[in-house]
């Protein structure tokens, strides 16, 4: 009973993280128009680093070990550098609904890397539910006809793969460092390298950006870049990386919903039907068994 309650709490935290992440692309779409790719993609980390540094100093957190530092580099490359920069660049030319559909493949990437990095073995039931959800979003993409593959599409796919690796590595590392500590240290590692390029791209015109753009940028820096990861990594540590990753199937449709609310992008009946199918696959997947690889004992 205690294990079941713990897993449910992990799923709840994962859901909170996904909801927060679902506002990332809409916020990016708004902010990039006024601040540009570099400031939005990398500047969010610089701002988040100030908040993170204060928290680490106040709490007197212990510095990561050299081995943990290697894992944090993987998290930093994916969650702090690659994903924000690539998605920001893609959002300059693609609608949020386009990005939302392609990023729906993220759960499969996360689960795959989880097997490699965290020694988790999803069951056949898990993979079937994942494939159902994946096929649903692919059918959705074909139905609305986004056209030929563009460089921005390749950027989104690359962002999806490196973030999947980052999620899996970060989820494994939370058991050693703690949930929020993982993304906190990853931000501290990446931020110093971003200060110069961000500074070179700052202009006085940015001071006159509308309030909506500033709110979007602050949200990206404080919530998307830090607080959402705290909830997400905590959820994966408690509920299991592969199982909690299933909740990500809701993310594209939440993104589309928020894009409809904040960006006036249209939502169709087909989108709602697909969302129901994906939600059904999530319900199946979250109840599918996930096992750990057993280490082979050394022979004397």
Chunked in runs of 10, what are the mean pLDDT values of the chain (300 residues)? 76 92 93 94 94 92 90 92 91 81 77 72 80 78 60 82 86 81 92 94 94 96 92 83 77 86 82 77 71 56
Q: What is the pLDDT of residue 267?
A: 75
Q: What is the pLDDT of residue 141?
A: 65
Q: What is the pTM of this model?
A: 0.81
Report the residue count for the chain. Answer: 300
Q: What is the pLDDT of residue 227?
A: 92
Within-domain flag for 300: no
Within-domain flag for 107: yes
Q: What is the pLDDT of residue 283?
A: 72
Within-domain flag for 298: no
- Reduce the DSSP state of residue 121 to 3 states and report it: strand
CA distance 68 to 56: 17
Alpha helices in 60-150 (DSSP H): 66-75, 83-90, 96-102, 106-117, 124-144
CA distance 72 to 59: 19
Q: What is the pLDDT of residue 174?
A: 80
Within-domain flag for 299: no
Q: What is the pLDDT of residue 263?
A: 87
What is the extent of the structural domain holding 51?
Answer: 2-292
Q: What is the pLDDT of residue 215?
A: 96
Within-domain flag for 297: no
CA distance 67 to 169: 13
Q: What's 295's DSSP letter?
A: P
Count of domains for the chain: 1
Within-domain flag for 172: yes
Alpha helices in the chain (DSSP H): 2-22, 24-59, 66-75, 83-90, 96-102, 106-117, 124-144, 151-177, 179-200, 211-219, 228-239, 241-245, 251-263, 269-286
């Amino acid at each position: 009973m205690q294990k079941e309650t713990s897993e449910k709490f992990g799923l709840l935290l994962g859901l909170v993280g996904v909801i927060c992440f679902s506002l990332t692309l809409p916020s990016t779409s708004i902010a990039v128009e006024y601040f540009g790719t570099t400031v939005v993609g990398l500047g969010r980390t610089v701002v988040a680093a100030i908040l993170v540094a204060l928290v680490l100093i106040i709490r007197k957190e212990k510095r990561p070990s050299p081995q943990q530092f290697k894992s944090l580099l993987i998290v930093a490359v994916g969650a702090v550098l690659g994903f924000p920069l690539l998605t920001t660049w893609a959002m300059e030319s693609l609608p949020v609904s386009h990005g939302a559909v392609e990023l729906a493949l993220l759960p499969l990437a996360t689960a795959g890397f989880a097997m490699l990095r965290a020694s988790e073995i999803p069951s056949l039931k898990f993979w079937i539910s994942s494939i159902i959800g994946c096929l649903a979003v692919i059918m959705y993409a074909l139905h609305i006809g986004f056209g030929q593959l563009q460089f921005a599409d390749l950027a989104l796919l690359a962002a999806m793969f490196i973030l999947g690796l980052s999620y899996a590595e970060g989820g494994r590392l939370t058991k050693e460092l703690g949930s929020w500590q993982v993304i906190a240290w990853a931000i501290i590692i990446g931020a110093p390298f971003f200060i110069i390029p961000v500074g070179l791209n700052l202009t006085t015109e940015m001071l006159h950006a509308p309030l909506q753009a500033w709110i979007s940028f602050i949200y990206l820096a404080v919530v998307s870049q830090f607080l959402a990861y705290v909830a997400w990594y905590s959820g994966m540590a408690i509920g299991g990386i592969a199982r909690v990753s299933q909740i990500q199937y809701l993310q594209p449709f939440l993104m589309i919903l928020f894009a409809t609310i904040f960006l006036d992008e249209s939502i169709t009946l087909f989108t709602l039907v697909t969302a129901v199918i994906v939600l059904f696959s999530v319900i199946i997947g979250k109840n599918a068994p996930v096992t750990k690889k057993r280490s082979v004992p050394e022979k004397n």
